[in-house]
Amino acid sequence: MKGLASILGILVLSGGVTLAGPLELSFGGGLGAVSLTSFNGIIDSWNGVLDELNEYSLVDPEVSGSVRNLAKLSTGLTFQAAEWYWILDWLALGARFEYETATTATSGAYVGGETSVVNISLEYQTIGILAAARVAILDIGVRLSADVGLGYYRGTLDHAVIFQVPSEYPKALSGIPPEGSDRHAGGTVGFAAQLALDVPVMSGFRLGAAVGYRTAMIGTLTNEAGAALDLDGDEILDEANVSAISVRLAISLDIDLSLDGEKEQEL
């Protein structure tokens, strides 16, 4: 919150502090759909390997068991906090914090002469800090507004893989996931836009909903040792397309900072 306040302070100074107006704080959460094209392509190839092993366990009487496919790493929860300083009735400058997470996992075993364990988990998180501007398109009590922002996004992928192939399987398998666990992270500059509709519930308090879009691409993610992410071991570095669409519900609080508001309180 301190970081948001600092960014907001810079924006307010650049916009002119003489135009004193209300400060708006908003908090919201909902569902997001993130691209992560590279990771989901790898998940598809891993699911192909699982399908082949599952089919084999059905026809070989010496092997039993199955492992369900991994879901795409594409949907998850998203949260947002923002500060808006209305320098004009229709224009606000502010700062926004965003957090988003998406996870997928599967586990199981194939039992033959020995037990072959499969355990895969992936968790992706995005954190964004943006400077933004908001325009009130329509304000008749119910307010329709649009905002755009530019800022820094940091993505983190936690991944853990155990993938054991039954010794009875008669041929070599390609595309087997490399085993191990690690955390890779990287950052980039991104652009975001949002359309919001909110309704006053009582003085200074609003409920609303918003639909947002983000475009950002992280070219390289590295671990603590500086090694770049190669999730499937094909010697091609994996990028993270963190472009996303989100739908959120939000609450907003209005704080009157105008000189007229102070005088009314004194009276």
| pLDDT higher than 60, residue 265 | no
Global pTM value: 0.86
Architecture of domain 2-266: Beta Barrel (2.40)
pLDDT at 64 over 90: yes
Q: Which helix (H) or strand (E) holds 207?
A: strand 205-215
Q: What is the DSSP pairing of strand 240-241 with strand 91-111?
A: unpaired
DSSP 228: B
* Residue 258 confidence (pLDDT): 60
Backbone angles phi, psi at 188, to 5 degrees: -165, 165
Those residues with Cβ within 8 angstroms of residue 124's Cβ, 6 or more apart along the chain or in another chain = 34, 36, 39, 73, 76, 101, 102, 103, 155, 156, 157, 158, 240
Helix (H/G/I), strand (E/B), else coil: 55: helix
- Domain ranges across the chain: 2-266
pLDDT tens sequence across 70-111: 999 999 999 999 999 999 999 999 999 999 999 999 999 999
Which helix (H) or strand (E) segment holds residue 193: the answer is: strand 180-202
Cα distances (Å, whole numbers) of residue 20 to 91, 192, 230, 265, 266:
12, 26, 51, 16, 18
Q: Read off the amino acid at residue 77.
A: L
Is the pLDDT at 18 greater than 70? The verdict is no
Separation of alpha carbons 195 and 4, rounded Å? 21
